[in-house]
Chains A and B, each alone.
Chain A
Amino acid sequence: MTSTVTAPEADEQHSSASGAHLVRKKRLFFPFFLPAVTLYVLFLVVPTIATVVLGFTSWAGAGDTPRFIGIGNYAELMGSDSFRYAFLNTLLYIVVGGVGTFLLAFLFTMVLRDMRGGKIVRAVLFFPNIVAPVALGMFFGIILIFRPNRQGLVNHLLESVGVDAVKFLAPENVTWVVTACLIWASSGFYITILMAAVDRIPPYLYEDADIAGATPWQKFRNVTLPLTWDVIGVAGVLWTISAIKIFELVFVLAGPGTYSPQIRAWTLGIYVFDRSFGTAGSPQYGMACAAAVVMILLVSVLVVLLRRLMRRDTIQF
């Protein structure tokens, strides 16, 4: 198996000494690469394909046999309220949460560029990124709780300044609350990415802009933004693939915890979970797989769209 790939490569090597070494090196390829790629294919690629296939079946899980029903699941998804909420909420988190996170990150980069203590601010804001979303969710759940006389932290503060307490976690509000929490928790990561890009911009460009008399906004618009465009594009992709998975935060914040929340708060991640492992009702693995396929499609479409939108000549300093 090894020789099939290395042999033609070796033929191209004319200088014998380094060629021999290269051939020996290339012999390492499969022993080194196979263990990782085997696990990868077995646990990620094959299951993904299986999910796509199962998406065309009706299957109640263990004890049942999958039955091919074509696009039946997808047709049913289209008509389902819970799926519609899940899809729209997920889209909302990706788009509104993304726009909010990036706006916040931009605002911070404008201010942080030459601010003392910037490093500390960055470190503090980054921390929520390494906290388990489930812990974040519970934390928010406790501080946002609405319970007259024993209010959570936020309502306690609101009441102490004479504002009526808000039912933050009620189904009609929770989506926006989660969006805010999401922005709060992820902004540090994107601030760090963008700041790293901003720090690479040569300072003399800002000095020239100073001489031109550019305002902070003009500097941002004419220098910072165009020169960090590539990084913003990559950060946008990272945002999309992480926001599409959103699950624990909503599950904990919007529901009682152990069971799925009300369908108004669902995301695609919750939909898949509820239809397969959620404890309510009998599982619908086929539907769950179809919803999972929608997740992959959505993320692919968004990533391709984003790359298209952000495409531009690369910048050389």
Chain B
Amino acid sequence: MTTTPVEPEALEAAFEATIARHDRIEPRDWMPDAYRRTLVRQMAQHAHSEIIGMQPEGAWIGRAPSLRRKAILLAKVQDEAGHGLYLYSACETLGVSRAELTELLLTGRQKYSSIFNYPTLSYADVGTIGWLVDGAAICNQVPLCRTSYGPYGRAMIRICKEESFHQRQGYELLMTMMRGTDAQREMVQESVNRFWWPSLMMFGPPDADSPNSARSMAWGVKRNSNDELRQKFVDMTVPQAEALGVTLPDPELRWNEERGHHDFGEPDWEELAAVIRGDGPCNAQRMAHRRAAHEDGAWVREAASAFAERAGAR
């Protein structure tokens, strides 16, 4: 079969035209190298976040207060593993291998979400993570269902369906504690106080300091700016906090009639930079745990390979 050589300009134009009509780019389409690199970075970071994200809550599985709560928590942590796998396989359609991605995480050359470098000090944190952290993740992720790269969008649709369970189980857990004793209510408030600001940081730096944002938006990889999504999250969360009976630890938080949005204080961007740099409260612990899990699982992978080889030889 003869194939006619295609001019690079024509390829680029076809790519731009697909983006312009809000159509999806699929794995075997031609795409600019920078688009591919941006996606690999974003999707890998997202996948790594799901995998590392199992740790903070996983720590409470053995200490869940009832069988019901334990079953819920197990299902949730299993979902996080599943989300990591959807995203890794979507990322691999861009020509990067699973082994490479694993290596990049384990050697710290690719990042994961800063939020997972905070500790889960009390059981209420399981609820707060579901409510605030997964709530912020949903804000970030729903627009990504319409991202321009097909496999990424499809993975996000599956993930978003499941995140809704995560958020609701967390909120329900907190509601149950708020109906309990004063000590339980204090636990919830203390937990919310610790997670509020890190949750706001999950949307990334302010737009003015987010150098890659504009290009990602032009390519349809990102659909909304960091600040837009942060505002949306604050507006969504305030009435939920009122219904729950907790306060959000921001003295500047108030409704602005003129803007039709809540005004809120500035997160500590120095803190975010430090956590991303590796100086958060749990960075070293999370990485050590992930590396140990990978190494401890090596014999299982080797045994499965050996078994498959022997079965194949028969």
Co-assembled chains A and B: no
